[in-house]
Chain A
Amino acid sequence: MIRTRNLTKKFAEKIAVNNLNLQIDAGEIYGFLGPNGAGKTTTIKMLTGILYPTSGEISIMGKNIRKHELEIKRAIGVVPDEPRMYHDLRGKEFVSFIMDIYDVDREEAKKRFDEICDVFDIDYLDEFIGEYSHGMSQKLMVATVLMRKPKVLFLDEPTVGLDARSARVLKMLLRKYADEGSTIFMTTHILEIAEKMCERIGIINEGDLIAEGTLDELRASGGKGEHLEDIFLSLTGANDEEMKEIVEGL
């Protein structure tokens, strides 16, 4: 479903993503992890057609993103790291705009949207988006993406700003969609979520994919520790002793 070949993005002299090769199949939940500034969001932006790569190829659902950009955008769903929308639209107007732009079956989408609103407690659609809190915007963004039930989902830090109940509901929904054949590509800093939800995990650091696979495979590729957090920290070069020393000194 998602394939990249030698994907590279440079910003002036800085290489944000370096020769990234990914292959993610249908029904898989793939966790894409990395420290701040590692290249996660840049990768998602390239995979979703927001940014053009400097070099390399991307194929989503078997189609090259350069040649079929709009077709792919219509088929995928993306929850960006910041849920920014048009401040001067009401929530319901934004939902209607999305339904029309994606040309979805309104009846079916509305039914699904109402159900999602029910589980996420979205009862503020008459208000202007500019008056929403971060969590409210995030829930609306998630709802407008999930109502289309896309075949491929990209989520950049999807649980940030969500309350515990909404975060739990989102995780359950993602599991359900994956079981039904959707591909899910997500980034998160909450490693417990990645550990519990993702079949495979890719770790990117300074633009390079430094490890990829299941937990066992990550351990086999040099990651030390029982939990994903330990493995992640050891792979990204964080020194536990050094951190302890700094904390004690504070």
Chain B
Amino acid sequence: MRELMILIKYKFKMWSEKSRRVKSRSLLTRKKVNFPGWLLWLLIGGGFGGGFVVPLSILMSRAFKQLNAIQAPGTAFSMSEIMLGMYGFMIMLMLLLNDVPSIVYNVVSENEETSLLFSLPIKRSVIFLLKVFEILSGTSLIFAFFLPFLIGYAISIKMAWYLIPIYILDVAAFVLLIMGISSIIAAFVARFMSSTTAKRLNVIMYTMSILGVVAIFNILPGKMTSTNAAGWLKNYIGLATHPFLPSTWFLGAVKSEPRYIILLYGICALSLWGIWQLSSRYSTGISRKYKKKEIGKVSIASNKSLFGPLVNKDLKLLLREGNSLFLFIYPLVFPLIMLFAGSWNSAGVMLMAGFLSLDYSAVISGGLCFFEIQAYPTSALLPLSKKKIVFAKAFISSSIYTTIYIITILVALFIVKSGWIMMLTVPFVFVALFEMAIYGGVAYLSSPKNISANFQSAMKGTNGLKTAAIGGLISAGIVLSSFFGIANALKLSMFFRILLFPTAPIVTIIAFWYFLKDKVTEEHLKEMFEKA
């Protein structure tokens, strides 16, 4: 236990040191920041609790109160408990989907940290438990987003104070049970899954969870506070009360039903025993499974195509990067959710679609530059100019987001039945996306080493703020001005229409290029590569 506490202590130290390092190099203009790690965690926790958990818990408690009095047909549960059961089911699903690949990648597969830990005089079970603790911390964000629902329920039924510790225990048992099930599934899955697949799946699942959380927070509160909340919930009674689901055991335990208490705690204990068994036999090594092929039998297909080997290679890397899934889906899905929910009009949707596309175009391009730095100095030895390397990435990024922008217009057209004329903005948007992608590449290359350590990290801190600000300005300069210039919504004179479209987009594009041109000379880019 002492060893585990020491390792956890250093883990926290590393996490807080890392975030302080990043901040001190970027946002805080390289000033040394001297505040203790625990204070940082306290501030984060306080901010999250005060800004998110408390207000949403109050809102949710009101919604739960409305449902408390309504009995779910054919069950011993009220509709508010059905709601809680549904949340439990969603937490379970998300944690399982996240934890399994995460355990395979971070715990079972070999990596630098586990190799080092195995060389130290530390028990195998302690190393395993440390890694499980890390996974729990990683997925705690998903759990944290559901805290308001758990607290809201407790407030709504005016839970007695002496029942609160039992309620917390139920929640803990539920989470541990899922962790145990995930570990056992992961130990089995690791036999078939390579560490690369696990890594990719890990990021994809995390992305899906974030999208899930966004969707849930945009849809469920509205449904819950609607007058027909009970009618809507009736469709999910079967799912929320299915006797084989751990989420139902949790719900039953909260209701103090003996059979569910036995099931929840009994199977939780069993799964903890399973974790202990796994931990005492813990070893890594799934990353060295090779399908040996007879030499000479491996076909080396040519990459030559319309766009050439460089673009092909970049596309392959991009599509294999788990983070890119989120970056592709979000600019498309988010504005459309708002449009479906009726929260925004077409101008708002197009502005947001433009802004997100511009922002993510820079992120993708910067991320693609990360692959070049990952392969440095090999990438620097290729007979290619640095300009070509950066422009190929900008081409890929701008093409993808132009396509997404067109799809957004088409879907918006399908819903609101007007605005096809926005298609006229596509060429301007393509050029702006291309420029933005170049900016993203250059911004990544000029980032300090410690904040450019992975695909998405270039756009954090100062770079992220600058990119968002530029993306917002260009989006307004092209998309919004075009919208008002060509749409009939404003009764503008022809002079103002021409001024807004196409003059505003052209001026925006030229102004941005003027800002960029000195940054994309071969000499400057080469210097950036050297520094990166």
Contact = CB atoms under 8 A, between A and B. Distances in A.
Chains A and B bind each other? yes
Interface of A: 45, 48-52, 70-71, 73-74, 78, 80, 82-89, 92-93, 95-97, 99-102, 106, 110, 113-114, 117-118, 121-128, 130-131, 133, 141
A131 B377 CA distance: 19
B374 interface: yes
Q: Would you list the 3 A-B pairs with minimal beta carbon distance, nearest first?
A: A100-B309, A74-B383, A73-B383
B296 A101 contact: no
B195 interface: yes
Given A73-B381, A84-B376, 11 more contacts: A50-B377, A50-B530, A78-B381, A88-B321, A106-B302, A123-B294, A123-B295, A127-B291, A131-B195, A131-B196, A131-B288
Contacts of A83: 378
Contacts of A122: 295
B446 to A, nearest CB: 17
B285 to A, nearest CB: 12
A237 B374 CA distance: 37
30 contacts: A48-B381, A49-B380, A49-B381, A50-B380, A70-B385, A80-B377, A80-B381, A84-B378, A85-B375, A86-B374, A87-B374, A88-B196, A88-B320, A89-B316, A92-B298, A96-B301, A96-B302, A99-B302, A106-B302, A114-B295, A118-B295, A118-B296, A122-B295, A123-B292, A123-B293, A123-B294, A126-B291, A126-B298, A127-B291, A133-B288
B134 to A, nearest CB: 20
A117 B338 CA distance: 55
Taking each of A83, A100, A110, which has the highest tally of chain B beta carbons within 10 Å of its own beta carbon?
A100
Contacts of B320: 88
Contacts of B288: 131, 133
A121 B294 CA distance: 10
A100 B383 contact: no
Contacts of A82: 377
Contacts of B309: 96-97, 100-101
A126 B293 contact: yes
A89 B291 contact: no
A127 B301 CA distance: 15
A52 B526 contact: yes
Given A123-B294, A127-B290, A89 B313 contact: yes
B87 interface: no
Taking each of B295, B302, B304, B308, which has the highest tally of chain A beta carbons within 10 Å of its own beta carbon?
B295
A33 B423 CA distance: 63
B303 interface: yes
Contacts of B167: none
Nearest to A118: B295
B316 A88 contact: yes
Interface in B232-258: none
A113 B313 CA distance: 20
A130 B300 CA distance: 19
Contacts of B16: none
Contact of A131 (B194, B310, B381): B194
B382 interface: yes
Contacts of A86: 313, 317, 371, 374-375
